[in-house]
Amino acid sequence: DEDAREVQGARGGARGGSSPSASARGRAAGMFNVALSALDLRGGAHDAARDLVLVRMPEAGVKPDVVSYSLAIAACVHAGGDADDLIAAARRAAGADRRSNAKKPKRAKKKKKGKGGDVDDAEGKNVRTLWEDEHLAVVSKPAGMLTHPNEASGGATRTLVEDLLDAFGDEGLSAINGADARGIVHRLDKPTSGAMLIAKTDLAHAMCVAAWYQRKVTKTYLALVEGVPGRRRGRRRGDDGDAMEGTCVAPADGRPARSDWRVVETFGEEDEDDATQLCSLVEVTPRTGRRHQIRQHM
């Protein structure tokens, strides 16, 4: 493929080659991940998946990411094989053995209720454990809390990861997504509250990431929107001409996006002078996972 050849041809830039573009590297990694997913879904191709992620991708100058390793691990597990070497490689790539460097502001108070218990943060918000077993946990993320540290936050605000570390400890969370994002399989935007699936082991993390990639996971959100839609249910696409403007911080990346929605309930009374008195509670099921997708579609 042209992207893979560009990446491979640019290796050894000191010998006169140029560096591959970030977009070319991303597209090449994406194509390898598609192939890894196909090998997993095919079944019985775990040796090919292992070879692809441990040998072929590095040979092509493409760095496997957490999705690559997760798909290869899933292929091995589904075929009844052993994935310990892939998990070890994923941990090395993620720097899993270092402790999280997340800055922890002083907290006004701290409360634990045993393993995986409730934890209050400095702002008085509460991260509750809704369910857990030896592999996974489901926690409630409050609105206004970052999922994990990022460059923009500068460590100034407390994150869900920090509360998870308080509740479960370094060794009680998966680390193949990196030391500063332990346990994080997926994310919710800072303004969004909701249930989040947390991985307690690296194997569970990999299986969840593979399921997410292969669209085996159904996610449902409730959104309170201004006004009343013209119909009770529908589907929004990324190229809808009537998409609301000014609702997203990040620019659209041009990738396909699709959300199904239905009106659950409407509130307020219609006023000819002030249409904003009406609002609706809408159930949204995103069929793709793009940044700020629901806010843009709604």
Tell me the C-alpha distance between 65 and 216, whole Å: 20
In a domain, 106, yes or no: no
In a domain, 161, yes or no: yes
Taking CA atoms, 49 is separated from 92, 93, 94, 286, in Å, by 18, 17, 19, 29
Q: What pLDDT, on the 0 to 100 scale, is given for residue 249?
A: 38
Q: What is the CATH number of the domain that holds 135?
A: 3.30.2350.10
Q: What pLDDT, on the 0 to 100 scale, is given for residue 116?
A: 54
Residue at which a domain ends, from 209, 243, 261? 209
Phi-psi region of 223 (alpha: psi -120 to 50; beta: other; left: phi over 0): beta
In a domain, 111, yes or no: no
In a domain, 269, yes or no: yes
Q: How open is the CA angle 64-83-200, to the nearest 5 degrees? A: 85
Tell me the C-alpha distance between 198 and 147, whole Å: 11
In a domain, 112, yes or no: no
DSSP output for 108-146: S-----STT--EE-TTS-EEEEEEE-SSEEEEEEPTT-B
Catalytic center residues = 189
In a domain, 231, yes or no: yes
Angle at which helix 202-213 crosses helix 84-94, to 10 degrees, equals: 90
Q: What is the pTM of this model?
A: 0.79
Return per-residue pLDDT of the chain as tens, 298 residues.
555 555 555 555 444 445 567 788 889 999 999 999 999 999 999 999 999 999 999 999 999 999 999 999 999 999 999 999 999 999 999 998 876 665 454 444 444 444 555 555 444 346 899 999 999 999 999 999 999 887 665 556 789 999 999 999 999 999 999 999 999 999 998 989 999 999 999 999 999 999 999 999 999 999 999 888 889 999 988 655 444 433 333 333 456 788 999 999 999 877 666 655 789 999 999 988 777 788 777 7
Co-location of 141 and 63 in the same domain: no
Q: What pLDDT, on the 0 to 100 scale, is given for residue 237?
A: 81
Buried b / exposed e along 136-155 (16+ C-beta atoms within 10 A): bbebebbeebbbbbeeeeee
Number of domains present in the structure of the chain:
3
Q: Which domain holds residue 268?
A: 221-297
φ, ψ for residue 186, nearest 5 deg = -145, 180
Co-location of 172 and 231 in the same domain: no
Co-location of 152 and 232 in the same domain: no
Co-location of 24 and 85 in the same domain: yes
Q: What pLDDT, on the 0 to 100 scale, is given for residue 298?
A: 74
Token pair for 87: 């998990």
Residue at which a domain ends, from 25, 59, 94? 94
Taking CA atoms, 219 is separated from 261, 279, 287, in Å, by 12, 23, 8
Co-location of 87 and 15 in the same domain: yes
Token pair for 210: 């593979």
Q: What pLDDT, on the 0 to 100 scale, is given for residue 155?
A: 58
Between the CA atoms of 242, 245, 247 and 252, what dihedral angle is there, to the nearest 10 degrees?
A: 90
Which residue, among 294, 140, 287, has the nearest Cα to 224 in the 3D structure? 294
Residue at which a domain ends, from 151, 176, 209? 209
Tell me the C-alpha distance between 53 and 92, whole Å: 14
In a domain, 99, yes or no: no
Co-location of 127 and 195 in the same domain: yes
In a domain, 215, yes or no: no
Q: What pLDDT, on the 0 to 100 scale, is given for residue 280?
A: 94
Query: What sign has the CA pseudo-torsion 56, 59, 62, 66?
Result: positive
Co-location of 15 and 37 in the same domain: yes
Residue 84 C-alpha from the chain's centroid: 23
Query: What sign has the CA pseudo-torsion 25, 30, 35, 36?
Result: positive
